[in-house]
Structure 1
Amino acid sequence: MTRSPELPEPYDVDVVIVGGGPVGLLVAADLDSRGVSTVVVEDRPFLEPPNVKCNHVSARTMEAFRRLGLADAVRSAGLPADHPQDVAFRTSATGIEFGRIEIPSAAARRRGDGAGPDTTWETAEPPHRVNQRYLEPILERHVAALPHVDLRNDTRCTGVAQDDDGVTATLRGPNGGTEVTVRARYLVGADGGRSLVRKSIGARLHGDPVLQHVQSTCVRVPGLADQVDADPAWGVYVFNPRRQGHVYAIDGRDVFLVHTYLTPEEAADDSVDRDRAVRDILGLGDDVAYEVLSKEDWVARRLVADTFRDRRVFLAGDAAHLWVPYGGYGMNAGIADGLNLAWLLGAVVTGWADDAVLDAYAAERQPITDQVSRLAMGHLRKIGATDLPAHLESDDAAGEAARRELGELAYRLNVQQFAAAGLNFGYSYTGSPIIVPDGDAPDYTMGSYTPSTVPGCRLPHVWLGDGVSLYDRLGPWYTLVVAGRTGAPDAGWDHWVAAARSAGLPIELAVVPDDLVPASYVTRYAIARQDQHVAWRGDVLPDDPSALAALLGAVRARAAVAA
C-alpha cells in the first residue's frame, strides 16, 4: 500500500478496521470525513451481498446516513417505494389477519402522509426497512470511493499485535496469498460474533448464551405476494397451533425470510422438518413449489464483552455484544458503537484531544449495550410467555374473539419493538469522562423516552425550516447551541466561540430561533457533539472557556489549566 505522506514513520495508516460489514464501513466513512486514513479488511469479495440478515435501519442510523450523504440512497433501496412497511399478525403469511402495526412505505415517508406510531417522532430521519443485502453494497460503493480509505476485500486478518506505539495487523490476501503486515496507530475489531480481534485482546463474552433457537430460511415463492397483495406487509408474525414464526418481505415480490421458532426440545434433537415448518408458516399447500435460497439458523443470546478496549485495540458491533436481534438493533447498536468510536479516534488522530478521551468509548457504550441487551431479552421473554388461545383458526364467534384478544396483545407487545423510540433516542452517556454532569437523565423503555438536554442525552431535534434540521448545523466536533436570540447579541456568542477555539476546542455555533425552541430546552445554552449527545448545558456561558474546553478534551486547554 502507499503510505500517507502525513503519517510519520513507522505507521502505514491511522486506523486498521477488521470487518467490512455495516459497522466497519461506517467507521471508515466517518473517519474519512475527519481526514483520518484507514485500511478496511473484509474477507468477502467486493459487492458480494451477505446472506439476508438485518432488515431494519433505525432512525439514529438514518440520521448518521443523512450526515454522510447516504440517507436518500438507503431509503430508495430494498422494498418497492410504495410497499407498506407494516407488521401484520396472522394465522399464516397467507392466512387470517387479526392485527397490524402500521408503518409507512418509503414513498409515504417522502410525502409525509404516512400513518403509524413512529410518524410523530422528533427526528430528522425516520427509520427504514431494508435488508442488509441491499444496504451493504450501498455502503461499500460509498466507502470504496473515499480518498482516505483503502478497502481490501477478499482479505483476511490473521493476527493482531500491539505495543506502546501502535498496532500491527497481519493480513492474507485473496486465494491464500502472501501475508503482509500493516502498521497503524489504532485498530478496530468489527469482525462479528466470532471476532479474532476480541480473542486477541483476551476479552470474553458474558451473559445468557442461549435464549432461543431459530431456524432461518430465505425462500423464493413465485406468486406468494399476489396472495396477500390486497394488504401487503413488510413483516408477518405467524401464530397457529402447528408452528409460530416470522416472515419478512425481502424484495416485495417473491423473496421472503422465514424464521421458525424452536422449542428447547426441538433444538436439542434437531427434529423440526424445515420444509414442513416453512409451509406451515407461509400457509403453502404441499403442491406449491418454492426455492430455498439460503439457510442461516441462529441462536438468540444476550452476551456483552467484559472489555471493549485493550490499549490501542477496540471492539465494536457483534465483536463486542450479541443479543436478540429484535428490530435490527444488533446492527444499529453496532453502528452507534462505531460512530462513537470514530468521533473519539478522530479527535485524537487530528490532534485536538489526547489519548485520555478514548476512555470515553467504553464508559459510554458498554453500559448502553448492556441496557439494550436486557431490554431485548425481557421483550423476548414476554413474547415467549404468551399463550396461544384456543379456537384461533375457528370460523365462528369463538375464533373471532380469540383472534381479537391475541391481536390486541401482540400489538401491545410488539409496537414498542417496531417503533422503539426509547432505544433510538432515550439512552444517555451520563457516566462519560467528557460529559459535564448536570442532573439525572430521564428513564426510558424500549418504546418510550422523554426528550432532554441533560448532558449525556441526545440533543432534542428541531426543524429550522425548509427541510433543514438542527442536526444539519452541528459541526464535526462540538457545537454551541443557543436556544433563542432574545437577550444576548450575536457578537457575544461569536466572541465566546472564538475564545473556546483559541483554547483548542473545535466548536461551531448554531442558533434556534425563539419561536422554534422546544420545551425540552430548559437552559439557554447547550454544547452538543456531532453524534448529537449533549456535553454541557447552562444559562450562562463561562467567562473563561478554557476550563470547560479542558473538560471536553481539548489538549491545549488542559495544558493551560494544568499550568
Structure 2
Amino acid sequence: MSAADVVIVGAGPTGLALGVDLARRGVDALVVEKADGLFPGSRGKGIQPRTMEVLEDLGVLDAILAAGGPYPVGMIWQDGERAGEHRMFDPAEVKEAAGDSAFTEPWMVPQWRTQEILFTRLKELGGRVDFGREVVALDQDDTGVTVRFASGPDLRAGYVVAADGGRSAVRRALGIDMTGETVDPNPVLVCDVRITGLDRDNWHVFPPSGEGDGFLAICPLAGTEDFQLVAQFPEGTEVDLSLDGIRKVAAARSHLAPEDITEVRWASDFRPRAALADRFRSGRVFLAGDAAHVHSPAGGQGLNTSVQDAYNLGWKLGAVLRDGADPALLDSYEEERRPIAAQMLGISTGVHRGEVRRGAATVQLGLGYRESSLTQDTRDAVGTVRAGDRAPDGTVEGVRLFDAFRGPHWTLVALGVAAPGLPESVRVVRGSAQEPYGKGLFLVRPDGYVGWAGNSAAGLGEYVARFGSHTVS
C-alpha cells in the first residue's frame, strides 16, 4: 500500500491550491481525481481581491493576470437594441473596500484556466495528481486513514482532505449532512460557447421578454475566444444541453440567429442552492470548498471561499506534519472557516435574490478571525489593526509588507517596539509606528492574518510555542 502525508480528494481549485501550499512546505501530498482530467468549464470565473492576494503568495499571480481580465460592463438589450449599461458592481465602492490591497476589483479567469495554472504550479513544486481515481470508502484509526478506490491500490495517509465538490463522495462516506435551502427553484443552463456577431466589450444581458421566459446572459470570457452563456428556465423544465437546444434558447431570447452559435465547448445545468456541512472535520478527514459549502454563483463567492479554505488549512497541516505543532491546532480549521462560509453563503444568496449588491461585501478583504482561539491581542489600541485581522499591505523602511509575508513562514512586524531575538526561519520587519498598525509587535501567520499582537514581547514565546519548533522559540 502506497502512502502520503496527506491525500487530497479532488483536483478543482480547492484541491490544487491546497496541493500547492503543502508542496511548498515540503509536505508529501497527493491529489487524486475521479475524472480523467481537469474540469473543462468556466463555472467559477470571478476571482476576488483577497483571493488574488492568496494566489500571489502561492506564486501564480503573473499567470493569473496574463490569463484573465477585468469584468466587462453589462449591456442591457431590448428588442434587438442596446437599451443601456448595467454595472455588476460599483467600482468606487469596491476600490474603497480594497483599501491597501493592490487588487481593486474582481479579476475574470474561467475556472478551467485557473485550474490549469494551479496544476502547472503544483508540478513545478514536485507535486502530482493521479487522475481516474474514484474514492469509494475510508477507514480511519488513531494513526491515519486508509483510502479505498474503485480500482487500483489503496492509499494510506496521515490526513485526508475532501475537496471533491458539492456531491462529495467523501462527505457522504463520513455521514456528514449538509443543511441548506434551494435559493431558486428555476433551473439554470450554463455553458461555454463560441459566437459570431456579438462584441466582446460587454456582458450582454437579455431580460425576460414574456410570461414564463427566463433571462439570458452572455459574457465574454477574458483571455479566451469563448463566451459563457447563462439562461434561466421555469421550474420543472428539462434543460436541453445540446448545440441545437442552446441555439434555440439564444435565438428565442436575443437577436442572435441560431447559426451565430458555432460551437458548444462545455454545458451543464443546475438549481441554485445554498448549503453548509454540519461539520468540517471527522477525525483525520477535513472538508474544504464545495464539499463543505455550496453557493449560488451570484456574487462570485464559492470559488473564492473555497481557495481560502485551502489557504487556512495548508499552513496548519504543515505545522503539524513538519514543524511538530500539537495536532490540536487542526481543530481551529473548522472553528475559523465554518463561520466564514456561513457568512459568505448569506451574501451569495442575498446577491442572487437582489438583496445584496456586489461590492464591499463580496471582495472578502474584511474577513478575519478575531474570535478564533488562535488569536491573542494584549494591546489597548483602538482603531488600528487587531489580532485576527488580515495584515494590511504597506511599506516599512522601504520593504513592501506583502513581499515580506510571501512564503510559508511567519513574519514579525515590529513598529516602534524592539523586536525580540528570533530564529532565522521567522522574517522580521522593523520600522517606526505607522497606520493602520499603530505601534507594537504583530506576528503575522503564514496565511497573512495577525495571530498575536502586543505592546512588548511579553507572552510572545508562549503563544508561538503552540506552532512547532520552526516558528519562534
TM-score scaled to structure 2, two decimals?
A: 0.87
Match of 1:129 in 2: 108
Residues 93 and 292 from structure 1, CA distance in 2 versus in 1: closer, same or farther, beyond 3 angstroms? Answer: farther
Aligned to 1:397: none
- State the match for 2:445 in structure 1: 529
How far off is 1:507 after superposition? 3.4
Whether the 8 Å contact between 1:497 and 1:509 is mirrored in structure 2 is no
CA distance in 1, matches of 2:471, 2:391: 25
Residue 192 of structure 1: which of 137, 143, 165 is its match? 165
* Secondary structure, aligned partner of 1:307: coil
Instruction: Give the letter for the 1:508 counterpart.
Output: R
Please state how far the C-alpha of 1:215 moved relative to its aligned partner.
2.4
For residue 247 of structure 1, report the CA deviation from its aligned partner.
Answer: 2.1
**Which 10-residue stretch deviates more, 249-258 or 161-170?**
249-258
2:402 alignment partner in structure 1: 471
**Superposed, which structure 2 residues align to 1:27-106 within 5 Å?**
27-46=18-37, 48-78=38-68, 85-91=71-77, 95-101=81-87
Q: Sort the Cα spacing of 1:168 and 1:86 in 2 relative to 1 into closer, same or farther, 3 A.
A: same
**1:274 offset after TM fit, Å?**
5.1
For 1:469 and 1:214, the matched residues in 2 are separated by 47
1:24-423 matches, within 5 Å, as 24-46=15-37, 48-78=38-68, 85-91=71-77, 95-101=81-87, 117-119=93-95, 121=98, 122-126=100-104, 127-147=106-126, 149-172=127-150, 178-218=151-191, 220-225=193-198, 228=199, 232-233=201-202, 235-242=203-210, 243-250=214-221, 255-262=226-233, 266-270=234-238, 275-285=247-257, 288=260, 290-382=262-354, 416-417=357-358, 419-420=359-360, 423=363
Conserved 8 A contact 1:523-1:537: no
Greater fraction helix = 1
Helix, strand or coil at the partner of 2:323: coil
Q: Which amino acid aligns with 1:424?
A: Q
- One-letter identity of the residue aligned with 1:44: A
Q: CA deviation at 1:134?
A: 1.7
Describe the SS at the equivalent of 1:96: strand
Report Cα offsets for 1:324-351 as digits up to 9, x if no partner: 1123311110110011011110110013
- Given the superposition, is the C-alpha separation of residues 140 and 221 from structure 1 closer, same or farther in structure 2, using an over 3 Å criterion? closer
1:427 aligns with 2:367: yes
Name the counterpart of 1:388: none
* Uncovered stretches (5+) of structure 2, i.e. residues with no partner: none
Letter of the structure 2 residue corresponding to residue 430 of structure 1: R
Amino acid at match of 1:85: Y
Residue 510 of structure 1 pairs with residue 429 of structure 2: yes
Mapped to 1, the partners of 2:432 and 2:438 lie a distance apart of 15
Asked if 1:16 corresponds to 2:2, the answer is no
Partner of 1:448: none
Mapped to 2, the partners of 1:191 and 1:71 lie a distance apart of: 24
In structure 2, what residue type is equivalent to 1:480? L
Structure with the bigger RCO (C-alpha within 8 Å, sep 6+) is 2
Distance 2:183 2:10 in 1: 25
Q: Does the 8 Å contact 2:192/2:265 carry over to 1?
A: yes
Instruction: Work out the CA distance in 2 between the residues paired with 1:463 and 1:239.
Output: 47
TM-fit CA distance, 1:204 = 0.7
Measured on the aligned residues, the alpha-carbon RMSD in Å equals 3.3
Aligned to 2:460: 545
User: How many residues are paired up?
Assistant: 462
**1:301 and 1:557 mapped to 2: Cα distance?**
41
* 1:440 CA drift (Å): 12
Deviations 1:462-508 (A, max 9, x none): 14598x6312202634221123x5xx5xxx41xx142xx59xxx633
Letter of the 2:428 counterpart: L
Contact 1:452 1:459 in 2 (8 A): no
Query: Is this contact kept in 2: 1:357–1:433, CA < 8 A?
Result: no
Q: Say if 1:513 and 1:129 are closer, same or farther in 2 by CA, change over 3 A.
A: farther
Check the 8 A contact 2:217/2:230 in 1, yes or no.
yes
C-alpha contact 2:138 2:146 (8 A) present in aligned 1: yes
1:460 maps to 392
How far apart in 1 are the matches of 2:30 and 2:429?
34
CA contact (8 A) 1:190 1:316 kept: yes
The one-letter amino acid of 1:535's match is: G
Tell me the distance in 2 between the aligned counterparts of 1:202 and 1:289. 44
Q: Partner letter of residue 368 of structure 1?
A: I
Separation in 2, partners of 1:295, 1:476? 38
How far 1:431 moved relative to its partner? 2.9
Q: Are the equivalent residues in 2 in contact too, given 1:49–1:133 (CA < 8 A)?
A: yes
Q: Which stretch shifts more, 68-77 or 522-531?
A: 522-531
* 1:530-549 superposed Cα distances (whole Å, 9 cap, x missing partner): 2111112222221x533232
CA offset at residue 420 of structure 1?
A: 4.3
Distance 1:336 1:288, change over 3 A: closer
What are the ranges of 5 or more consecutive residues in structure 1 without an aligned counterpart? 4-11, 105-114, 173-177, 384-412, 443-450
| Structure 1 position 62, deviation (Å) | 1.5
After superposition, give the CA deviation of every residue in 1:11-59 in whole Å (9 maximum; x if it has no partner): x21100000111101101101111101111012334x552221111122
Identity of aligned residues (%): 29
Kept in 2: contact 1:219–1:290 (CA 8 A)? no
Aligned counterparts of 2:158 and 2:60: Cα–Cα separation in 1: 28
Q: Is the 8 A contact 1:49 1:137 kept in 2?
A: no
Q: Do the aligned partners of 2:216 and 2:250 also contact (CA within 8 Å) in 1?
A: no
Distance 1:196 1:513 in 2: 52
